[in-house]
Structure 1
């Protein structure tokens, strides 16, 4: 491995791309710690309750820490939201569907619309986010810099609120620009690398918390005590979960295809056998993102509604009970709803991104067919049936990965900041981005007749089911 790293550094173009990517990621991490001048530097945990859990969950895939008001406070989430919205509209709006068929020119236009929508979402989200966090600071403006308090000393001047909104909007747009620069001049997918950097940046803090609470003796796997055997079990479990994530991420169902033979002169062309790869986890990490975000909304909503009624009353107790139940990630109801939503969004997202009729038409137009199935409707029905079956496997896997942190947290009693690395959104994103990065580096190495970083990397040796 050291020899391969040395080879990477000897290729001028690859070395330049790697250092540029590291430099841009360093800029992102520096800006991550620059607070808005209007607020204090202390983390805003006063949002508390379900809102605090919601902000912590969303922060995983926003490449930011939403509990702090910084210049990158919104992270890359507005751009991701804009991309998802346009992707969903692309299946229902004919104009966008036509743009997707125009190839590179159409994609360029869609990217332009994505940028405009990102700016609009930034303006709306930053204003709402700032209002919520300033309200959480209390009547005395505990989280507001005293130099920016209004004349009554109870809030932030409106002009300074507009400045804060503009700064946070510019911060998110700047992160979007950083991601595009990594795509164009660096190595790997820029937006994904920003998210991965935000996830991995939490690892040192979690490891420090684990080591600080560890006891150098056997504890019998007692809940809440991290002993030697608990540490070994956590290490083995982490390796096992990562291996499972890698297997299912690269897993494919390869459907055999055959091209039709045709004669031109004295030569016969075609007749070759190939494979149509269908990913097991076609939906990626999106079902977990949607499911976890959706489950946090009832907790926040009913918690806010309970605050409108008299404390101790029947309505207050009922709403507060629903809020607490929906925020308890160790409860059976929460995990049951979590798994059900993951299955729903797996099929929903696969139905949007995978079009068996379009694939069938492309196979027919190219003179390729699936042995045993006539081109057209029978091929479409077969592809749809296969995708339904393998999506069930992918959804089951995502459900297991999603609830592993809850199991680790509930059975061993380790802090949730540590248990979160054993599954869920963060681990899936980190593994997917790492493989994409390895494949991009391998493409540079293979062009110069070097072997890849991993055996079979980029060579299509994915597990087959």
Structure 2
């Protein structure tokens, strides 16, 4: 992995891309500490520290991890990229349901640009909706300092909503710029940067909290975290790189006056073809009920309203949350794999290029054969993602209750970090290989 970055650094174009990516990370970290006007920063930090020390994966702790601490600071990036991800999920589903959108997607780059514009509009709406929800909730705790009354107060609230919405839109734009001018998937890398920047502080809080019970307990906490994190990194790396190879044979053929001898290649089907996207999608969907709950007062005299508000705030601690998390992860794994990999296209391309699978007739039979293998590998990948997402979190909730770093989101954070890092290195390596071929061809 290090050698890939060393080699890439020697190529001017890739060096510019890496520097651009690092520059975007700096902007993200800086923006995560620029507070939204009209908030009580001191009370916000105290509120989040109290939430953290209470244990459990509350809505606030969960969102704070993915925003890189921006929610705790109630900064311009407090909402993160979750509204954009939710908008993307909605339109991915609508493309399957609405024929007009499906036709638009098939129109090539022009159609995709129009769809992307729709996603941007939906992102603005969802970000504003979520910002209003958090304002409603934080105002109940006295964390909003909007001044004045009447129209002055309304203007202050509107300014906060616009600022938070603009922050999310800026992150979305940064993600698109990273994808275009940097390395890797921009949105995934922004989430990656948020987790990386927040993890050391959260781990330090765990160690400091354990040190109150003695130095031995603090050392035990740190060693346990390192051992379990290393084990998960090894497992995630192994499964991320695992693939099922289907041998593809090419018969001897003539193109013009040139003859090409028969040879054998293979079609690699990754076990975890969807990567970390299903996990990110699942978390985005699970956050939505808690966002709805922010509009309700936990101290309301109405028992239904107060009960619903408290349940949504503590929703990530419930058994239903873990079940829904696993189920949604598996569903999105199948959905994303179906969207990104089409066995029919693969079978048609093989037939056009004279490729075939030993013992399988080209055409529909080949498509059915690839689909059957894809179903098996996708099931293993979905089961693996669901296990990594849920089991470590349950382990820390039931056994290591003094450690909230992994208790917050289980193995999800490590899965995203490792998965995004491996995908980025793989893209960097692919760009290096392509540049070598281009230089060889002159």
Query: Where do residues 115-154 of structure 1 align in structure 2 (5 Å cutoff)?
Result: 115-134=120-139, 136-137=140-141, 142-145=142-145, 148-151=146-149
CA contact (8 A) 1:253 1:278 kept: yes
Whole-Å Cα distance in 1 between the matches of residues 227 and 57 of structure 2? 31
Deviations 1:45-82 (A, max 9, x none): 48979998234334544566445532222222222222
Per the alignment, in what secondary structure is the counterpart of residue 38 of structure 1?
Answer: coil
Question: Compared with structure 1, are the counterparts of its residues 288 and 186 closer, same or farther at alpha carbon in structure 2 (3 Å cutoff)?
Answer: closer
CA distance in 1, matches of 2:90, 2:12: 39
Contact 1:214/1:226 (<8 A) preserved: yes
Which digits, 9 at most, give the CA deviation of each residue in 1:260-317, with x for residues without a partner? 5544566444743222222212333344345455556667879969876766xxx899
Q: 1:15 to 1:421 in 2, by over 3 A?
A: farther
Give the equivalent residue in structure 1 for 2:383: 396
* Residue correspondence of structure 1 range 351-362 to structure 2 within 5 A: 351-362=338-349
Q: Is 1:30 equivalent to 2:30 in the alignment?
A: yes
The structure whose RCO (Cα within 8 Å, separation 6+) is larger is 2
Please name the residue that 1:242 is paired with.
Answer: 233
Structure 1 gap ranges (5+): 220-224, 450-465
CA distance in 2, matches of 1:171, 1:430: 23
Corresponding position of 1:71: 76
Query: 1:50·1:323 contact (CA, 8 Å) conserved in 2?
Result: no
Q: Secondary structure at the match of 2:267?
A: strand
Give the 3 Å change call, closer, same or farther, for CA 34–318 of structure 1 in structure 2.
closer
Partner of 2:404: 416
The verdict on how the C-alpha distance between 1:106 and 1:319 changes in structure 2, with shifts beyond 3 A counting, is: closer
How far apart in 1 are the matches of 2:323 and 2:133? 31
Q: 8 Å contact 1:257–1:369 — kept in the other structure?
A: yes
Kindly state the Cα deviation for residue 218 of structure 1 after the two structures are TM-superposed.
Answer: 8.8
Q: Secondary structure at the match of 1:284?
A: coil
Higher mean C-alpha displacement, 379-388 vs 6-15: 6-15
Give the aligned partner of residue 204 of structure 1: 200
- After superposition, the Cα gap between the structure-2 partners of 1:107 and 1:163, relative to the gap in structure 1 and judged at 3 Å, is same
CA contact (8 A) 1:57 1:293 kept: no
Q: Which residue of 2 aligns with 1:453?
A: none
3-state SS, counterpart of residue 61 of structure 2:
helix
Q: Write the distance in 2 (CA, Å) between the matches of 1:187 and 1:297.
A: 30
Gaps of 5+ in 2: 437-442
Q: 1:86 to 1:284 in 2, by over 3 A?
A: same
Displacement after TM superposition at 1:437 (Å): 2.5
CA gap 1:161/1:14 in 2 versus in 1, 3 angstroms: same
| 2: CA distance, partners of 1:86 / 1:336 | 25
Aligned CA-pair RMSD: 4.0
- CA distance in 2 between counterparts of 1:264 and 1:68 reads 64
- Following superposition, the deviation at residue 423 of structure 1 comes to 0.8
Q: Which of residues 395, 410, 414 is equivalent to 1:407?
A: 395
> Is structure 2 residue 271 aligned with structure 1 residue 280?
yes
2:343 and 2:2 mapped to 1: Cα distance? 44
Contact 1:226 1:414 in 2 (8 A): no
Count of aligned pairs between the two proteins: 429
Residue 407 (structure 2) pairs with residue 385 (structure 1): no
Partner residue in 1 for 2:439: none
Contact 2:65 2:198 in 1 (8 A): no
Quote the residue 1:432 is aligned against.
419
Shift of 1:100: 3.6
Q: Give, in whole Å, the separation in 1 of the partners of 2:15 and 2:255.
A: 48
The alpha carbon displacement at 1:35 in A equals: 1.3
Distance in 2 between the 1:444 and 1:265 partners? 31
